[in-house]
Chains A and B, each alone.
Chain A
Protein backbone atom coordinates (compact mmCIF):
# COMPACT_ATOMS: atom_id res chain seq x y z
CA UNK A 1 0.00 0.00 0.00
CA UNK A 2 1.14 3.53 -0.77
CA UNK A 3 2.28 5.67 2.17
CA UNK A 4 -0.12 8.56 2.63
CA UNK A 5 1.50 11.97 2.13
CA UNK A 6 -0.11 13.18 5.34
CA UNK A 7 -1.31 11.31 8.37
CA UNK A 8 -2.85 13.14 11.30
CA UNK A 9 -3.55 11.13 14.42
CA UNK A 10 -5.55 12.20 17.46
CA UNK A 11 -4.91 15.94 17.43
CA UNK A 12 -6.29 17.59 20.56
CA UNK A 13 -6.01 21.21 21.57
CA UNK A 14 -7.49 23.21 24.44
CA UNK A 15 -7.19 26.83 25.43
CA UNK A 16 -7.54 26.77 29.18
CA UNK A 17 -10.67 24.79 29.85
CA UNK A 18 -12.12 25.26 26.39
CA UNK A 19 -11.44 22.34 24.10
CA UNK A 20 -11.05 23.45 20.48
CA UNK A 21 -9.95 20.17 18.90
CA UNK A 22 -11.18 16.99 20.49
CA UNK A 23 -9.15 14.36 18.69
CA UNK A 24 -8.85 14.75 14.93
CA UNK A 25 -7.49 11.99 12.73
CA UNK A 26 -7.37 11.80 8.96
CA UNK A 27 -4.98 11.01 6.17
CA UNK A 28 -4.57 12.03 2.56
CA UNK A 29 -2.65 10.86 -0.49
CA UNK A 30 -0.27 12.68 -2.76
CA UNK A 31 -2.10 14.98 -5.18
CA UNK A 32 -5.36 15.01 -3.25
CA UNK A 33 -7.31 18.11 -2.37
CA UNK A 34 -8.98 18.17 1.01
CA UNK A 35 -11.53 20.80 1.97
CA UNK A 36 -12.38 21.54 5.56
CA UNK A 37 -15.78 23.10 6.18
CA UNK A 38 -17.75 23.96 9.29
CA UNK A 39 -19.11 26.83 11.37
CA UNK A 40 -16.85 29.55 12.70
CA UNK A 41 -15.35 28.58 16.03
CA UNK A 42 -15.63 24.88 15.19
CA UNK A 43 -11.88 24.37 15.10
CA UNK A 44 -11.07 24.23 11.38
CA UNK A 45 -8.59 27.09 11.43
CA UNK A 46 -6.97 25.77 14.62
CA UNK A 47 -6.50 22.43 12.88
CA UNK A 48 -4.88 24.04 9.86
CA UNK A 49 -2.66 26.20 12.08
CA UNK A 50 -1.63 23.09 14.01
CA UNK A 51 -0.49 21.46 10.79
CA UNK A 52 1.68 24.52 10.15
CA UNK A 53 3.07 24.56 13.69
CA UNK A 54 1.49 27.93 14.48
CA UNK A 55 -0.48 26.20 17.21
CA UNK A 56 1.03 23.43 19.28
CA UNK A 57 -1.44 20.58 19.88
CA UNK A 58 -1.70 19.09 23.37
CA UNK A 59 -1.93 15.57 22.00
CA UNK A 60 -1.46 13.86 18.68
CA UNK A 61 0.99 13.12 15.94
CA UNK A 62 1.56 14.39 12.40
CA UNK A 63 3.40 12.35 9.79
CA UNK A 64 4.42 13.59 6.34
CA UNK A 65 5.49 11.05 3.76
CA UNK A 66 6.19 8.47 6.42
CA UNK A 67 8.29 10.81 8.57
CA UNK A 68 6.89 12.04 11.87
CA UNK A 69 7.15 15.84 11.91
CA UNK A 70 5.23 16.43 15.12
CA UNK A 71 4.58 14.37 18.19
CA UNK A 72 3.01 16.01 21.23
CA UNK A 73 5.35 14.02 23.47
CA UNK A 74 8.28 16.05 22.04
CA UNK A 75 6.88 19.26 23.43
CA UNK A 76 8.23 20.34 26.78
CA UNK A 77 6.89 23.86 26.81
CA UNK A 78 4.33 24.93 24.23
CA UNK A 79 5.36 28.59 24.03
CA UNK A 80 8.97 27.57 23.31
CA UNK A 81 8.21 24.87 20.74
CA UNK A 82 9.45 25.39 17.22
CA UNK A 83 9.33 22.81 14.48
CA UNK A 84 12.57 21.88 12.76
CA UNK A 85 12.95 24.09 9.66
CA UNK A 86 12.85 21.09 7.32
CA UNK A 87 9.59 19.97 8.94
CA UNK A 88 8.11 23.45 8.84
CA UNK A 89 8.82 23.70 5.14
CA UNK A 90 6.96 20.49 4.31
CA UNK A 91 3.90 22.72 4.58
CA UNK A 92 3.07 26.01 2.94
CA UNK A 93 0.36 28.29 4.30
CA UNK A 94 -1.71 30.95 2.58
CA UNK A 95 -3.41 33.24 5.09
CA UNK A 96 -6.84 34.79 5.03
CA UNK A 97 -5.29 38.25 5.31
CA UNK A 98 -2.41 37.52 2.85
CA UNK A 99 0.30 38.75 5.27
CA UNK A 100 2.62 39.87 2.52
CA UNK A 101 5.63 41.86 3.69
CA UNK A 102 4.57 45.45 2.90
CA UNK A 103 8.10 46.86 2.84
CA UNK A 104 9.31 44.52 0.10
CA UNK A 105 8.38 44.50 -3.56
CA UNK A 106 6.18 41.74 -4.92
CA UNK A 107 9.18 39.90 -6.31
CA UNK A 108 11.20 40.29 -3.12
CA UNK A 109 8.25 38.82 -1.21
CA UNK A 110 8.68 35.72 -3.35
CA UNK A 111 12.46 35.45 -3.24
CA UNK A 112 13.22 36.58 0.34
CA UNK A 113 12.84 33.31 2.23
CA UNK A 114 14.60 31.24 -0.42
CA UNK A 115 17.48 33.73 -0.56
CA UNK A 116 17.91 33.64 3.21
CA UNK A 117 18.14 29.85 3.09
CA UNK A 118 20.60 29.78 0.24
CA UNK A 119 22.84 32.39 1.88
CA UNK A 120 22.83 30.38 5.08
CA UNK A 121 23.61 27.10 3.30
CA UNK A 122 26.35 28.23 0.96
CA UNK A 123 28.53 29.90 3.59
CA UNK A 124 31.77 30.88 1.90
CA UNK A 125 31.03 29.33 -1.47
CA UNK A 126 30.32 32.61 -3.24
CA UNK A 127 30.47 31.29 -6.78
CA UNK A 128 27.80 28.75 -6.14
CA UNK A 129 25.79 31.43 -4.35
CA UNK A 130 25.31 33.76 -7.31
CA UNK A 131 24.18 30.90 -9.53
CA UNK A 132 21.65 29.79 -6.95
CA UNK A 133 20.42 33.34 -6.42
CA UNK A 134 19.85 33.63 -10.13
CA UNK A 135 17.94 30.38 -10.02
CA UNK A 136 15.67 31.79 -7.30
CA UNK A 137 15.09 34.96 -9.30
CA UNK A 138 14.21 32.94 -12.39
CA UNK A 139 11.79 30.78 -10.43
CA UNK A 140 10.09 33.87 -9.00
CA UNK A 141 9.72 35.30 -12.52
CA UNK A 142 8.17 32.05 -13.71
CA UNK A 143 5.69 31.97 -10.82
CA UNK A 144 4.75 35.61 -11.37
CA UNK A 145 4.12 34.84 -15.02
CA UNK A 146 1.93 31.92 -14.03
CA UNK A 147 -0.28 34.10 -11.83
CA UNK A 148 -0.30 36.81 -14.51
CA UNK A 149 1.44 39.41 -12.38
CA UNK A 150 4.78 39.80 -14.14
CA UNK A 151 4.09 43.50 -14.63
CA UNK A 152 3.69 43.98 -10.86
CA UNK A 153 7.05 42.46 -9.87
CA UNK A 154 8.50 45.78 -8.68
CA UNK A 155 5.35 47.16 -7.07
CA UNK A 156 4.76 47.20 -3.34
CA UNK A 157 1.93 44.93 -2.17
CA UNK A 158 -0.22 47.88 -1.09
CA UNK A 159 -0.52 48.91 -4.74
CA UNK A 160 -2.20 45.61 -5.60
CA UNK A 161 -5.84 44.60 -5.28
CA UNK A 162 -6.77 42.02 -2.65
CA UNK A 163 -7.09 39.29 -5.24
CA UNK A 164 -3.69 40.12 -6.68
CA UNK A 165 -2.13 40.16 -3.21
CA UNK A 166 -3.56 36.75 -2.46
CA UNK A 167 -2.20 35.37 -5.72
CA UNK A 168 1.22 36.74 -4.75
CA UNK A 169 0.86 35.05 -1.35
CA UNK A 170 0.17 31.74 -3.09
CA UNK A 171 3.23 32.18 -5.33
CA UNK A 172 5.30 33.07 -2.25
CA UNK A 173 4.29 29.81 -0.58
CA UNK A 174 5.05 27.83 -3.77
CA UNK A 175 8.60 29.23 -3.93
CA UNK A 176 9.70 26.86 -1.17
CA UNK A 177 8.24 23.71 -2.79
CA UNK A 178 5.95 22.62 0.03
CA UNK A 179 4.70 19.06 -0.12
CA UNK A 180 1.33 20.19 1.17
CA UNK A 181 -0.08 23.64 0.54
CA UNK A 182 -2.63 24.88 3.08
CA UNK A 183 -5.17 27.67 2.63
CA UNK A 184 -6.87 29.37 5.54
CA UNK A 185 -10.08 30.86 4.13
CA UNK A 186 -8.16 32.30 1.18
CA UNK A 187 -11.06 34.33 -0.19
CA UNK A 188 -12.81 35.46 3.00
CA UNK A 189 -11.06 38.83 3.04
CA UNK A 190 -11.81 39.52 -0.62
CA UNK A 191 -14.59 41.36 -2.37
CA UNK A 192 -16.86 38.85 -4.15
CA UNK A 193 -15.69 39.92 -7.61
CA UNK A 194 -12.07 39.17 -6.67
CA UNK A 195 -12.56 35.64 -5.36
CA UNK A 196 -12.68 34.00 -8.79
CA UNK A 197 -9.14 34.90 -9.79
CA UNK A 198 -7.82 33.31 -6.58
CA UNK A 199 -9.97 30.21 -6.89
CA UNK A 200 -8.80 29.79 -10.47
CA UNK A 201 -5.16 29.69 -9.32
CA UNK A 202 -6.05 27.01 -6.76
CA UNK A 203 -7.85 24.97 -9.41
CA UNK A 204 -4.84 25.20 -11.72
CA UNK A 205 -2.65 23.93 -8.90
CA UNK A 206 -4.96 20.99 -8.38
CA UNK A 207 -4.74 20.15 -12.07
CA UNK A 208 -0.96 20.13 -11.75
CA UNK A 209 -1.19 17.62 -8.93
CA UNK A 210 -0.49 19.84 -5.91
CA UNK A 211 -1.56 18.32 -2.59
CA UNK A 212 -3.73 20.89 -0.84
CA UNK A 213 -5.80 21.43 2.29
CA UNK A 214 -8.33 24.23 2.04
CA UNK A 215 -10.33 25.69 4.90
CA UNK A 216 -13.16 27.49 3.17
CA UNK A 217 -16.65 28.94 3.33
CA UNK A 218 -17.05 28.72 -0.46
CA UNK A 219 -19.23 25.61 -0.61
CA UNK A 220 -19.61 25.53 -4.38
CA UNK A 221 -15.84 25.78 -4.74
CA UNK A 222 -15.19 23.10 -2.12
CA UNK A 223 -17.59 20.83 -3.95
CA UNK A 224 -15.95 21.31 -7.32
CA UNK A 225 -12.29 21.30 -6.34
CA UNK A 226 -11.97 18.67 -3.60
CA UNK A 227 -11.39 14.94 -3.57
CA UNK A 228 -12.46 14.76 0.02
CA UNK A 229 -14.35 16.98 2.45
CA UNK A 230 -14.14 17.14 6.24
CA UNK A 231 -17.01 18.71 8.13
CA UNK A 232 -15.76 19.82 11.52
CA UNK A 233 -18.08 20.73 14.37
CA UNK A 234 -17.21 21.27 18.01
CA UNK A 235 -13.63 20.20 17.48
CA UNK A 236 -14.44 16.84 15.92
CA UNK A 237 -14.82 15.46 12.42
CA UNK A 238 -18.59 15.20 12.32
CA UNK A 239 -18.72 13.89 8.78
CA UNK A 240 -16.27 13.13 5.99
CA UNK A 241 -16.30 11.77 2.50
CA UNK A 242 -16.30 12.57 -1.19
CA UNK A 243 -17.82 15.98 -1.98
CA UNK A 244 -20.90 14.46 -3.67
CA UNK A 245 -21.72 12.50 -0.55
CA UNK A 246 -21.07 15.27 1.93
CA UNK A 247 -22.92 17.95 0.03
CA UNK A 248 -25.75 15.92 -1.51
CA UNK A 249 -26.38 13.19 1.04
CA UNK A 250 -25.46 14.70 4.42
CA UNK A 251 -26.06 12.21 7.23
CA UNK A 252 -25.85 14.22 10.44
CA UNK A 253 -28.34 16.85 11.54
CA UNK A 254 -25.46 19.27 12.20
CA UNK A 255 -24.23 19.08 8.60
CA UNK A 256 -27.75 19.37 7.19
CA UNK A 257 -28.31 22.48 9.26
CA UNK A 258 -24.92 23.91 8.30
CA UNK A 259 -25.45 23.40 4.57
CA UNK A 260 -28.99 24.72 4.65
CA UNK A 261 -27.92 27.90 6.41
CA UNK A 262 -25.10 28.39 3.98
CA UNK A 263 -27.27 28.17 0.91
CA UNK A 264 -29.84 30.51 2.38
CA UNK A 265 -27.24 33.29 2.87
Chain B
Protein backbone atom coordinates (compact mmCIF):
# COMPACT_ATOMS: atom_id res chain seq x y z
CA UNK B 1 0.00 0.00 0.00
CA UNK B 2 1.41 3.35 -0.97
CA UNK B 3 1.65 6.47 1.20
CA UNK B 4 -0.98 8.10 -1.02
CA UNK B 5 -3.45 5.30 -0.49
CA UNK B 6 -2.87 5.53 3.26
CA UNK B 7 -3.39 9.28 3.22
CA UNK B 8 -6.59 8.78 1.31
CA UNK B 9 -7.88 6.38 3.94
CA UNK B 10 -6.68 8.58 6.79
CA UNK B 11 -8.44 11.60 5.31
CA UNK B 12 -11.74 11.15 7.12
CA UNK B 13 -9.90 10.70 10.41
CA UNK B 14 -7.83 13.83 9.88
CA UNK B 15 -11.03 15.86 9.56
CA UNK B 16 -12.30 14.55 12.90
CA UNK B 17 -8.96 15.24 14.61
CA UNK B 18 -8.95 18.81 13.29
CA UNK B 19 -12.52 19.31 14.43
CA UNK B 20 -11.68 18.15 17.96
CA UNK B 21 -8.61 20.38 17.97
CA UNK B 22 -10.20 23.61 16.76
CA UNK B 23 -13.47 23.33 18.65
CA UNK B 24 -11.62 22.52 21.87
CA UNK B 25 -9.48 25.65 21.49
CA UNK B 26 -12.43 27.80 20.48
CA UNK B 27 -14.35 27.00 23.66
CA UNK B 28 -11.66 26.23 26.21
CA UNK B 29 -9.67 29.46 25.76
CA UNK B 30 -12.53 31.79 26.80
CA UNK B 31 -13.91 29.28 29.33
CA UNK B 32 -10.44 29.12 30.90
CA UNK B 33 -10.50 32.90 31.42
CA UNK B 34 -13.86 32.66 33.21
CA UNK B 35 -12.56 29.84 35.39
CA UNK B 36 -9.47 31.91 36.18
CA UNK B 37 -11.73 34.76 37.33
CA UNK B 38 -13.63 32.29 39.51
CA UNK B 39 -10.40 30.96 40.95
CA UNK B 40 -9.21 34.50 41.73
CA UNK B 41 -12.55 35.63 43.18
CA UNK B 42 -12.34 37.42 46.51
CA UNK B 43 -15.20 35.27 47.79
CA UNK B 44 -13.44 32.30 49.40
CA UNK B 45 -16.22 29.82 48.65
CA UNK B 46 -16.32 30.68 44.94
CA UNK B 47 -12.54 30.53 44.76
CA UNK B 48 -12.51 27.14 46.54
CA UNK B 49 -15.12 25.65 44.19
CA UNK B 50 -13.08 26.62 41.14
CA UNK B 51 -9.93 25.45 42.89
CA UNK B 52 -11.44 22.00 43.38
CA UNK B 53 -12.63 21.90 39.78
CA UNK B 54 -9.14 22.69 38.49
CA UNK B 55 -7.59 20.21 40.89
CA UNK B 56 -9.85 17.35 39.70
CA UNK B 57 -9.42 18.18 36.02
CA UNK B 58 -5.65 18.25 36.33
CA UNK B 59 -5.42 15.39 38.80
CA UNK B 60 -7.28 12.68 36.86
CA UNK B 61 -6.53 11.23 33.42
CA UNK B 62 -8.24 12.85 30.46
CA UNK B 63 -9.18 9.37 29.23
CA UNK B 64 -11.10 8.75 32.45
CA UNK B 65 -12.89 12.08 32.07
CA UNK B 66 -13.83 11.06 28.55
CA UNK B 67 -15.45 7.87 29.85
CA UNK B 68 -17.28 9.70 32.62
CA UNK B 69 -18.76 12.31 30.31
CA UNK B 70 -19.62 9.81 27.59
CA UNK B 71 -21.37 7.32 29.88
CA UNK B 72 -22.78 9.77 32.44
CA UNK B 73 -26.27 10.08 30.90
CA UNK B 74 -26.62 6.32 30.93
CA UNK B 75 -25.28 5.50 34.38
CA UNK B 76 -26.69 8.56 36.16
CA UNK B 77 -30.05 8.88 34.43
CA UNK B 78 -30.50 5.58 32.62
CA UNK B 79 -30.86 7.33 29.27
CA UNK B 80 -29.70 5.07 26.45
CA UNK B 81 -26.85 6.74 24.62
CA UNK B 82 -28.47 5.96 21.26
CA UNK B 83 -31.12 8.63 21.94
CA UNK B 84 -28.53 11.35 21.42
CA UNK B 85 -27.96 10.57 17.75
CA UNK B 86 -24.94 9.89 15.62
CA UNK B 87 -22.89 12.89 16.69
CA UNK B 88 -23.08 12.20 20.41
CA UNK B 89 -19.68 10.51 20.57
CA UNK B 90 -17.90 13.46 19.01
CA UNK B 91 -19.83 15.94 21.15
CA UNK B 92 -18.83 14.05 24.29
CA UNK B 93 -15.19 14.04 23.18
CA UNK B 94 -15.18 17.78 22.57
CA UNK B 95 -17.03 18.53 25.80
CA UNK B 96 -14.52 16.50 27.82
CA UNK B 97 -11.59 18.14 26.06
CA UNK B 98 -13.00 21.63 26.60
CA UNK B 99 -13.64 21.05 30.31
CA UNK B 100 -10.17 19.57 30.77
CA UNK B 101 -8.20 22.10 28.76
CA UNK B 102 -10.08 25.08 30.22
CA UNK B 103 -8.74 24.03 33.65
CA UNK B 104 -5.16 24.09 32.37
CA UNK B 105 -5.68 27.40 30.55
CA UNK B 106 -7.28 28.87 33.69
CA UNK B 107 -4.10 28.24 35.66
CA UNK B 108 -2.00 29.77 32.91
CA UNK B 109 -4.21 32.87 32.79
CA UNK B 110 -4.10 33.12 36.57
CA UNK B 111 -0.31 33.01 36.67
CA UNK B 112 -0.16 35.65 33.92
CA UNK B 113 -2.67 37.96 35.57
CA UNK B 114 -1.09 37.73 39.01
CA UNK B 115 2.34 38.48 37.52
CA UNK B 116 1.15 41.91 36.42
CA UNK B 117 2.61 44.73 38.51
CA UNK B 118 0.01 46.56 40.61
CA UNK B 119 1.34 49.85 39.20
CA UNK B 120 -0.38 49.11 35.89
CA UNK B 121 -3.78 48.94 37.62
CA UNK B 122 -3.05 52.09 39.59
CA UNK B 123 -1.88 54.04 36.55
CA UNK B 124 -5.07 53.11 34.70
CA UNK B 125 -7.14 54.05 37.72
CA UNK B 126 -5.68 57.53 38.19
CA UNK B 127 -6.27 58.09 34.47
CA UNK B 128 -9.97 57.52 35.06
CA UNK B 129 -10.38 54.05 33.55
CA UNK B 130 -12.93 51.74 35.12
CA UNK B 131 -12.23 48.11 36.03
CA UNK B 132 -13.39 46.70 32.71
CA UNK B 133 -11.37 49.16 30.63
CA UNK B 134 -8.34 48.56 32.81
CA UNK B 135 -8.56 44.81 32.36
CA UNK B 136 -9.25 44.61 28.65
CA UNK B 137 -7.11 47.53 27.46
CA UNK B 138 -4.19 47.61 29.87
CA UNK B 139 -3.89 44.22 31.56
CA UNK B 140 -5.08 41.49 29.17
CA UNK B 141 -2.85 42.36 26.18
CA UNK B 142 0.18 42.22 28.45
CA UNK B 143 -1.01 38.97 30.01
CA UNK B 144 -1.45 37.40 26.56
CA UNK B 145 2.14 38.28 25.73
CA UNK B 146 3.40 36.70 28.94
CA UNK B 147 1.40 33.47 28.67
CA UNK B 148 1.94 32.66 25.00
CA UNK B 149 4.85 30.25 25.66
CA UNK B 150 2.97 28.06 28.19
CA UNK B 151 -0.18 28.22 26.01
CA UNK B 152 1.89 26.94 23.07
CA UNK B 153 2.87 23.93 25.19
CA UNK B 154 -0.76 23.14 25.91
CA UNK B 155 -1.84 23.56 22.30
CA UNK B 156 0.86 21.15 21.15
CA UNK B 157 -0.21 18.65 23.78
CA UNK B 158 -3.78 19.05 22.58
CA UNK B 159 -2.81 18.04 19.02
CA UNK B 160 -1.45 14.77 20.34
CA UNK B 161 -4.25 14.28 22.86
CA UNK B 162 -6.85 14.21 20.09
CA UNK B 163 -5.80 10.59 19.61
CA UNK B 164 -7.35 9.76 23.00
CA UNK B 165 -10.79 10.03 21.40
CA UNK B 166 -10.37 6.43 20.24
CA UNK B 167 -10.92 5.40 23.89
CA UNK B 168 -14.68 5.88 23.53
CA UNK B 169 -14.70 4.62 19.96
CA UNK B 170 -14.57 7.96 18.16
CA UNK B 171 -12.79 7.36 14.90
CA UNK B 172 -10.12 9.97 14.31
CA UNK B 173 -6.78 9.94 12.57
CA UNK B 174 -4.98 7.64 15.00
CA UNK B 175 -7.83 5.11 15.16
CA UNK B 176 -7.88 5.04 11.41
CA UNK B 177 -4.11 4.49 11.25
CA UNK B 178 -4.46 1.58 13.66
CA UNK B 179 -7.19 -0.01 11.54
CA UNK B 180 -5.14 0.25 8.36
CA UNK B 181 -2.02 -1.03 10.11
CA UNK B 182 -3.95 -4.08 11.39
CA UNK B 183 -5.49 -4.81 7.99
CA UNK B 184 -2.28 -4.37 6.03
CA UNK B 185 0.09 -5.77 8.67
CA UNK B 186 2.35 -2.76 8.18
CA UNK B 187 4.08 -0.08 10.23
CA UNK B 188 3.71 2.46 7.44
CA UNK B 189 0.28 3.86 8.50
CA UNK B 190 1.70 4.63 11.96
CA UNK B 191 4.66 6.40 10.43
CA UNK B 192 2.40 8.44 8.15
CA UNK B 193 0.19 9.38 11.11
CA UNK B 194 3.25 10.33 13.16
CA UNK B 195 4.56 12.54 10.38
CA UNK B 196 1.15 14.23 10.11
CA UNK B 197 1.04 14.96 13.85
CA UNK B 198 4.54 16.35 13.59
CA UNK B 199 3.75 18.58 10.61
CA UNK B 200 0.66 19.88 12.34
CA UNK B 201 2.57 20.70 15.52
CA UNK B 202 5.30 22.33 13.48
CA UNK B 203 2.62 24.62 12.04
CA UNK B 204 1.20 25.27 15.51
CA UNK B 205 4.63 26.26 16.83
CA UNK B 206 5.15 28.52 13.83
CA UNK B 207 1.80 30.28 14.27
CA UNK B 208 2.40 30.75 17.99
CA UNK B 209 5.87 32.07 17.24
CA UNK B 210 4.34 34.68 14.93
CA UNK B 211 1.86 35.67 17.65
CA UNK B 212 4.72 36.04 20.12
CA UNK B 213 6.46 38.34 17.71
CA UNK B 214 3.30 40.34 17.08
CA UNK B 215 2.57 40.79 20.77
CA UNK B 216 6.22 41.11 21.69
CA UNK B 217 7.20 44.26 19.86
CA UNK B 218 7.75 45.82 23.23
CA UNK B 219 10.14 44.43 25.84
CA UNK B 220 8.83 43.27 29.19
CA UNK B 221 10.30 44.95 32.22
* Chain A residues proximal to chain B, CB less than 8 Å: 52-54, 79, 85, 88-89, 91-93, 95, 97, 99-103, 112-113, 116-117, 156-159, 172-173, 176
Contacts and interface: CB of A to CB of B under 8 A. Distances in A.
B123 interface: yes
B219 A95 contact: no
Interface of B: 42, 117, 119-120, 122-130, 133, 137-138, 141-142, 145, 215, 217-221
Given A116-B133, A156-B219, A158-B221, A101 B128 contact: no
Contacts of B122: 54, 93, 95, 99
A93 B142 contact: no
A158 B219 contact: yes
A98 B183 CA distance: 68
Nearest to B144: A103
A103 B128 CA distance: 19
Contacts of A85: 128, 130
B217 to A, nearest CB: 7
B128 A102 contact: no
A172 B142 contact: no
Nearest to B142: A103
A158 B218 contact: yes
Contacts, number: 66
A2 B219 CA distance: 49
- Dominant secondary structure at the B interface: helix
Given A88-B128, A112-B137, A113-B124, 7 more contacts: A95-B119, A95-B122, A99-B123, A101-B123, A113-B128, A158-B221, A173-B126
B218 A156 contact: yes
Nearest to B140: A103
A97 B138 CA distance: 17
Given A156-B217, A156-B218, A101 B129 contact: no
Contact of A88 (B126, B133, B217): B126
A212 to B, nearest CB: 15
B107 to A, nearest CB: 23
Contacts of B120: 99, 101
A102 B130 CA distance: 19
Contacts of B125: 53-54, 88
Interface-centre pick from B119, B126, B217 (highest chain A CB count, 10 A) = B126
6 contacts: A95-B119, A101-B123, A103-B141, A113-B128, A116-B129, A116-B137
Contacts of A53: 125-126
A102 B142 contact: yes
Contacts of B221: 102, 158
Given A85-B128, A113-B128, A116-B133, A103 B145 contact: yes
